[in-house]
Amino acid sequence: MIWSHVTGQKKLKKQLKHLLDSKQVPHAQLFTGDSGYGGLPLALSFALQMLRIDSSQKINKPLGEKIQHPDLHFVYPVVKKGSEKIVLANDYGLDWAAFLNDNPYGNYANWFESINVGNKQGLIGVNEMNALHKKIYLKSYSGGNKVCVLWGVEKMNKEASNAFLKLLEEPPEKTFFILVAESSDQLLTTLVSRCQLVTLSPINENELLDTLEEDVPNRQSLVKQAEGDYRKLKLLIENLQNKADEALLIKVLRTSLKVRGDNTAVVELMAWAGEISVLGREEQKTFLLYSIRFIRDAFLLNYSLGDLVHYRSENGFDIHKLGPFVNSENINELITLFEKSHYHITRNANAKMIFTELSLQLTRLLKKASE
């Protein structure tokens, strides 16, 4: 099997191998799980095996080169860069290969960042499905299977979803579809019902640990913070995402605490909301999830439960100082506040309104703890 780009997921690898060996591969499968669990590299490795690619010839090649095969097709969210009337996944073929070489565990924000689309929200439109329909009914180049990997199917609009559903209902012979999504919640129920569901779990901690060099400091702590997510582990090592998220959170916390004695701080809160609202949706979601962990750790420290805390400041912040403002009086409401904000951002609500409300509610809840 060509699993060299897949970290962990031993159980799923075994299941997929059984499907191949027994020739029971369903015509449509839906891989779901956080991007850092490896749905995309797992799907690609499985697709390559279905096409009988010789692993000995390509074992050392990067993933972006391995996927160059005339019977392997791709659908993924794209964005118009200029005045194009229609833009398709094929138009981003070189960018896609580079993305797979550099960041196969990347999420949608990483993909959009790699193609320099700014704040635009990528999608999979009906034109993509029409193009796929034409390609998928052509004769196989090699005379065997044809495979289509659809990544980011949550970004498929309703018209595209209905068009793809028709394709799933009457698939061409020896044609297989592998859908990859972080969650099936936003997909048509009828579409999900046409697929065999493959659910990825967090990667085993020991398997993540094996990916790190022995000289990486705090290896065990980093792996625990990653929570089974390989992409998150890489981010933690680079200290990039955590540092940015921590700085944003510290800024709003300090400003919220100032509001009680300085009404001009409300203006600063509005400025903060404006600052974070221009970030990409995936970055905003990552920030909110980080904030939940941060507040949880502050709460645990406040109750002398430091052994359960994995927090490590990238900005020299002393989280103990937050202790008096996070306690049993407000912890549930604080967590709920960030969870609801994450939910609304996921549903594409107005980001500035969401973060404005979040910052104002923080002021109320932090005050509640100190009363």
Please answer whether residues 293 and 229 qualify as being in contact, where contact means their C-beta atoms are separated by less than 8 angstroms.
no
pLDDT digits (tens, 9 = 90+) for 271-316: 999 999 998 888 899 899 999 989 988 888 877 666 666 667 777 7
Nearest one of 310, 315, 319, 317 to 220, comparing CA atoms: 310
What is the predicted pLDDT for the residue at 248?
Answer: 93
**pLDDT tens profile 10-23:** 999 999 999 988 98
Q: 248 by DSSP, 3-state: which?
A: helix
Q: What percent of the chain is predicted at pLDDT more than 70?
A: 92
Q: How confident is the model at residue 56 (pLDDT cuts 50, 70, 90)?
A: very low
| pLDDT for residue 173 | 87
Class of CATH domain 10-201: alpha beta
Q: What is residue 299's three-state secondary structure?
A: helix
158-189: burial string, b at 16+ Cβ within 10 Å, e else: eebbebbeebbeebeeebbbbbbbbebeebbe
Is the CA virtual torsion 346, 348, 349, 350 positive or negative? Answer: positive
The share of the chain scoring above pLDDT 90, in percent, equals: 47
Model confidence over 232-277: pLDDT tens digits?
A: 998 887 765 778 889 999 999 999 988 866 678 889 999 999 999 9
Give the predicted TM-score (pTM) of the model.
0.67
What are the tens digits of pLDDT across the range 149-173?
999 999 999 999 999 999 998 888 8
| 114 band by pLDDT with thresholds 50, 70 and 90 | confident
Q: What are phi and psi of 189, to 5 degrees?
A: -60, -40
Up-side HSE of residue 92: CA atoms within 13 Å toward CB? 26
Residue 335 has pLDDT above 90, yes or no: yes
* Residue 124, pLDDT score: 94
pLDDT digits (tens, 9 = 90+) for 191-248: 999 999 999 999 999 999 998 878 777 788 889 989 999 999 988 877 657 788 899 9
Domain ranges of the chain: 10-201, 239-370
Phi first, then psi: give them for residue 318, nearest 5 degrees. -95, 100
> Tokens 């510290």 identify what position?
250
